[in-house]
Amino acid sequence: MQQDIRQIGQVPWTVEEIADSLAEFVALLAGKPLESNEGGMKAPHLFATWFLLRKIQPACVIESGVWKGMGTWLIEQALPTAEIICIEPVLENIVYKSDKARYQTQDFAQTDWDKMDKERTLLFFDDHQNCFQRLQDARKWGFEHIIFEDNYPAKQGDCYTLKKVLMHAGFEAPKPKAYGRWQQLKHYFLPPKTEYIIPNRQDALYVEKNCEIYYEFPPVVKNDTTRWGDAWNEADYPTPLPILSLPTDNTFKIFEEEAQAYNWLCYVRLRK
């Protein structure tokens, strides 16, 4: 049976602080290194990631899923002195390469993180892998801070997300044709892909037990339809309230234009 958990625990920031940061972020975005980030993060999640990184202030970020490198640039902007480790199996797709980052193709789950300062490291997963498995791997190593960029709700998306877990939804990998044009991109979807997970409440119990915080970052604005073109409804798409109402001030038009890229990005703080 489906349940609706949008947040676990309390976060040390307010909706007002999020709203007050929007203008600074829009000014920052004017200096982005890539004209377009098709296939990667757009304004709603770039903003969410930038805001969260500045609040959490990790000394190191492990970015899994680099694509063209927009996320790496964003990490540099939010945390100018942080160490950055980038994991990307297809390095030749990277356009923006950071001098500060260390790049590797080896998967997060196949890397020895023993020497890392776990309390001061944040894991940023945007790699379309099984997020529940990633969470368990992060816990195994003792990491505490995670952002999951892909957090698709019950009936959508190409990976098992924490939102699906918390909705008791299980997961069925979409048929290849549903990937559409992304399938054309070189190696965009790579194994290992989880194919099927039976709907269950055990995975949700694990998340509830091990997460001090699970926080879905709110959309900046909400257009009439979801990213899949259907009308919003709270049963299929439980969503935090948007930060701004429509129409927005001209400064924030980018959030209206790219509103459909919103995908329930979440921050997780694991228990010690």
Ligand X SMILES: C[S@@+](CC[C@H](N)C(=O)[O-])C[C@H]1O[C@@H](n2cnc3c(N)ncnc32)[C@H](O)[C@@H]1O
Which residues contact ligand X by CB under 6 A?
A: 37, 39-41, 64-67, 70-71, 87-90, 93, 107, 126-129, 187, 190
Q: Which is nearer to ligand X, 61 or 167 (CB)?
A: 61
Q: Nearest distance from residue 74's CB to ligand X, in Å?
A: 7
The residue number with the shortest CB distance to ligand X is 40
Buried b (16+ CB within 10 A) or exposed e, 171-201: bebeeeeeeeeeeeeeeeeeeeebeebeeee
Percent helix, strand, coil in the chain, to 5, is 35, 15, 50
Please name the residues in contact with 201: beta carbons below 8 A apart, sequence gap of 6 or more: 3, 168
H or E segment and range at residue 190: none
Q: Which is nearer to ligand X, 107 or 208 (CB)?
A: 107
Q: Which is nearer to ligand X, 133 or 210 (CB)?
A: 133
- Of the candidates 265, 59, 264, the one whose C-alpha atom is nearest the C-alpha of residue 144 is 59
Q: Which is nearer to ligand X, 40 or 242 (CB)?
A: 40
Q: Nearest distance from residue 18's CB to ligand X, in Å?
A: 20
Q: Nearest distance from residue 247's CB to ligand X, in Å?
A: 27
- Of the candidates 149, 154, 187, 158, the one whose C-alpha atom is nearest the C-alpha of residue 170 is 154
Q: Which is nearer to ligand X, 39 or 247 (CB)?
A: 39
Q: Which is nearer to ligand X, 67 or 255 (CB)?
A: 67
Structural contact between residues 186 and 93, judged by C-beta atoms closer than 8 angstroms: yes
Please name the residues in contact with 145: beta carbons below 8 A apart, sequence gap of 6 or more: 56, 58, 121, 122, 123, 267, 268, 269, 270
Helix (H, G, I), strand (E, B) or coil at 74: helix
Q: Nearest distance from residue 128's CB to ligand X, in Å?
A: 6
